[in-house]
Amino acid sequence: MVMKICWKEASEDRPDFWEIKKLLKKLHGGKNNIVDKIIYMLEEHSLNLEKLVDKRTEQWTEEKKRTDELLHSMMPKSVADQLKRGKPVEAESFDEVTLFFSDIVGFTSLSSESTPLQIVTLLNDLYSAFDEIIHAYDVYKVETIGDAYMVVSGLPIRNGHQHAVEIADMALHFLKSVQRFKIRHRPHKKLKLRIGIHSGPVCAGVVGMKMPRYCLFGDTVNTASRMESNGEGLHDVKVYPMLVGPSSVACRPLTIIKLSNLSLKIHISKATKDNLDKIGGYLMQERGSIDIKGKGELTTYWLQGKVFNTANIR
């Protein structure tokens, strides 16, 4: 622009040196010379770069957080951290853990009477409720396959005999949640849930490269699954507080959980019952000897609730 003005044919149209100086100064943002202008531009560029780096760093941090959350949903945090550090995750044996399996009774029939979107909504609502509950317990959700929900306690961090307690308390919490659960497209239909629990040894490890999964192996997994598939319906369940006193061993009903027409029994193995007996405080009923596919005759039990000491009830 300045060059164009200076090259005008009529001399009177050309600016004098003072005018040229003013134009250049204005062009350079008030700087006395072009070096100052360059320095100023570099400072501006540097400041813009810092802002851009901060923004990109914030975006990267947020993406990393989401990636970590996704990875931790696929496997335990301690295992995921090993993978992120590039360390191999060796398969590990655990002497005793407690496994939980549940599924929706009549799911195939319900699916045939519903649209795919309605089934997705149902499972999302149910599993979201379960996912909120398990945060309160020392458990790890292994996987969900269709209507089946699998949880374990006692790995990858061992917790003594507490694993049976964590799963039992979680299962009882699930029952309370299911009683209040509403199927959106079938608001008058009660959800029927079947639950099975078993304790025993397992082997755990990461399987696969492209889609790595933390999997459990062993006869304990099969037995826990059989506990669930051999469950049956439950009617009223009474939870009794133990009356502690010099001469009293009596019990009285504290709460009656109405579960009529619902498949909401918690079917447990003798191994799980023995673990709960060591801790104490659970109401269990012997189911008797039943034929378990691949296992033969096994004595199993129903977990009906917790036994509360009235001295602790306000």
286 or 38: which leads in pLDDT: 286
Task: Single out the residue of 210, 310, 302 nearest to residue 257, CA to CA.
Answer: 302
Compute the average pLDDT of residues 219-231.
Answer: 89
CA distance 13 to 9: 8
Of the candidate ranges 120-134, 149-163, 252-266, the one whose mean pLDDT is the lowest = 252-266
Considering 8-12, 127-131, 249-253, 284-288, the range whose residues carry the highest mean pLDDT is 127-131
Instruction: Give pLDDT, residue 239.
Output: 41
Question: What does pTM read for this prediction?
Answer: 0.70
Chain centre distance of CA 220: 23
- φ, ψ (nearest 5 deg) of residue 242: -75, 125
**Cβ atoms within 10 Å, residue 264:** 25
Contact 253, 290 (CB under 8 A): no
Stretch 109-124: mean pLDDT: 92
